[in-house]
Structure 1
Amino acid sequence: MTLYPLKFKPIFKERIWGGNKLRTQLHKNVSGEAIGESWEVSDVEGEPSVVAEGALKGKTLQELSETFQEALLGEKVYKQFGTKFPLLIKYIDAKSDLSIQVHPNDELAQQRHNSFGKTEMWYVMHADIGAKLMVGFNQEVTKENYQKHVENNTITEILNFEEVQKGDVYFLPTGRIHAIGGGIVLAEIQQTSDITYRIYDWNRVDAEGNARELHTALAVDAIDYTKHDNYKTTYTATQNNSTTLVDCPYFTTNLIPFTGEKHINHDDKDSFVIYMCVKGNVLFEANEYKNELKFGETLLLPASLKNIKISTTEASELLEVYIK
């Protein structure tokens, strides 16, 4: 069976902080008023992505990795990760603030949870006026000083909050404390891991009056206490060109703003390539395959497909993700 560019059925996640913008803005076919996440490409255990269309419809990402191996993943990626797909791709709608959280690095995650760590990045697709997210510290902090703030319920005093707008990018290496604020819709690219240490949850309770579990003890050794002068990624995008937003050992993400027609060759890559449509609508062509990638949709290009043509009649933007 021949591989082709793959779309998967989104996996929707109801969250206490979720809203309805995945439906009203990204046009996801979902009901419910508290849908916080759409998992677009997932090989998280028990949460596999399923192919939405074409000859491979109904197959899981895990089945595809086992069947096609290097042809899907790339030889280098396959050697490094085997058939475990290494990235988790999401769209997130935060109607209210997410919990303050941190993710462990590979070593700690392996030791404690037999899992990858969770390095990730955010690309802001929409922000209500005044919407903020939280990343890092606003002052020099020691482990002891941090623990006192947690105990005294004053953790927010030492955290760095930043107002954001569409197009803002944040890279979140493991250990960096962070939270998405209410009124923000974003694309999230991360290692395949669902390990999150929740530190503070705004004293929220559910309908039964129960607070969500916190992981303050586990978080202490996972946090990077370094204060940085700037947490936001600076970049300058140019029309019809590819601009690198993040280049790290776990993934590379480029932004491609374009109109008209563009030919892309991936001979220089030994990896699958993921495209997220973060503005407009884009027609993808590869061999006999032709399909529209609409705003808020995601496409997985197998490593064996090297030449594609993309075209659009409106100003569109793609995030392009792969592993070096």
Structure 2
Amino acid sequence: MEINQLLKFEPILKDKVWGGEKLIKTLHKKSNRKDIGESWELSDVEGDTSIVVNGDLKGTDLKSLISDYKSALMGSKIYNHFGDKFPLLIKFIDAKKALSIQLHPHDDLAKKRHNSFGKTEMWYVMQADEKANLIVGFKKEVTPEEYLHHLENKSLTDILNIDEVNKGDVYFIPTGRVHAIGAGVLLAEIQQTSDITYRVYDWDRPNPDGTFRELHTEEALDAIDYSAQESYDTKYTKEQNTSTEIVSCPYFTTSILPIHGKVEVNHANKDSFVIYMCVEGKVDFYYNNQKESLQMGETILVPACIKELVIESEISSELLEVFIK
């Protein structure tokens, strides 16, 4: 059965102890709540399933879409591998305060311990306050004993790589890599469908009720990648009105598409859905006499069976284009 429309979904907003107001004020999410840390744009996490807000399929949830349309939505190879489970979780994140220092287990460990996928992810920085930073990986290779010594002495940041960041910076976060989003960063996150996080340090920060969030010291020890890299940010180039790959891994491929004017898009070479996240400006999508608009902070899903569409923007805009090879 073919699916004959582009799909927009209702954002699922998440209160976080570290959240702020940029998702509402900058990305125009609708909520009266404060401390919104995450907007789940496309989710098949149990209990947080995205629901369509446009077209003939308005009100249909993602699980039902996959069940009804199968390969037409997902792509045949992806559907054969994942079945009725959407493989990616798409978010916008606003860190008013620093997130906990954390990492995610790889697929085998996550399956064994949690019956879940692992969590490989990437970040695209949409806005950063002055001197805002990200923690990604270690400065130099450490032993588990060195790591524990610094953790117990509350000096973990002494051995971690901390980068000041700016708009457009990209970081790939494979499983096992210790990381944290610093205060003042607004970013787009693309990840495997998983909500498994090992939190190793939370800045001794209490919840509003005075309790503390759980730490996962023991679970993390055999999940951490203790190695180090010279540099952790992803270098890339971009070309106007052209989709350029910036990250590719077995779990997802992400390209950047700066757009001003009209672009005719052809996905005939992909056996995959394609997700577009608008990270700057405003764009219009045209397909089959339908028009859908995306502004900065919005997301659209193009089903795998839709191969040709037109994207237009009257101003300089940027999209992230996400699919699975």
Q: TM-score, normalised by structure 1?
A: 0.99
Read off the aligned partner of 1:17 and give its amino acid letter.
W
* Structure 2 residue aligned with 1:123: 124
Which deviates more, 214-223 or 143-152?
143-152
In the alignment, is the contact (CA less than 8 A) between 2:126 and 2:168 conserved in 1? Answer: yes
Read off the aligned partner of 1:172 and give its amino acid letter.
I
Deviation at 1:293? 1.1
Q: TM-score, normalised by structure 2?
A: 0.98
Deviation at 1:7? 0.3
Q: Deviations over 1:77-105 (max 9, x none)?
A: 00110110000000000000000000000
- Structure 1 gap ranges (5+): none
Read off the aligned partner of 1:312 and give its amino acid letter.
S
In the alignment, is the contact (CA less than 8 A) between 2:3 and 2:69 conserved in 1? Answer: no
Deviation at 1:211? 1.3
Deviation at 1:32? 1.7
Deviation at 1:139? 2.1
- Structure 2 gap ranges (5+): none
* Structure 2 residue aligned with 1:15: 16
The within-5 A match list for 1:87-166 is: 87-166=88-167
Read off the aligned partner of 2:246 and give its amino acid letter.
L
* Structure 2 residue aligned with 1:318: 319
* Structure 1 residue aligned with 2:72: 71
In the alignment, is the contact (CA less than 8 A) between 2:52 and 2:62 conserved in 1? Answer: yes
SS at match of 1:53: coil
* Structure 1 residue aligned with 2:248: 247
SS at match of 2:310: strand
Deviation at 1:204? 0.3
Deviation at 1:2? 4.0
Deviation at 1:152? 2.0
Q: Distance in 2 between matches of 1:240 and 1:306?
A: 18
Q: Distance in 2 between matches of 1:313 and 1:53?
A: 23
Task: Indicate yes or no: 2:189 matched with 1:188.
Answer: yes
In the alignment, is the contact (CA less than 8 A) between 2:252 and 2:323 conserved in 1? Answer: yes
Structural RMSD (CA): 0.9
Read off the aligned partner of 1:267 and give its amino acid letter.
A
Deviation at 1:202? 0.4
Q: Distance in 2 between matches of 1:209 and 1:83?
A: 40
* Structure 2 residue aligned with 1:172: 173
Task: Indicate yes or no: 2:203 matched with 1:202.
Answer: yes
Deviation at 1:258? 1.4
Q: Distance in 1 between matches of 2:40 and 2:25?
A: 17
Deviation at 1:219? 0.5
Deviation at 1:168? 0.1
Read off the aligned partner of 1:90 and give its amino acid letter.
K
Q: Distance in 1 between matches of 2:25 and 2:216?
A: 34
Matched positions, count = 324
* Structure 1 residue aligned with 2:49: 48
Task: Indicate yes or no: 2:204 matched with 1:216.
Answer: no
SS at match of 2:117: coil
* Structure 1 residue aligned with 2:85: 84
SS at match of 2:196: coil
SS at match of 1:232: coil
Structure-2 change in CA distance of 1:2 and 1:145 (3 Å): closer
Deviation at 1:200? 0.2
SS at match of 1:110: helix
Q: Deviations over 1:225-268 (max 9, x none)?
A: 11100100001112111111101000000000010000010000
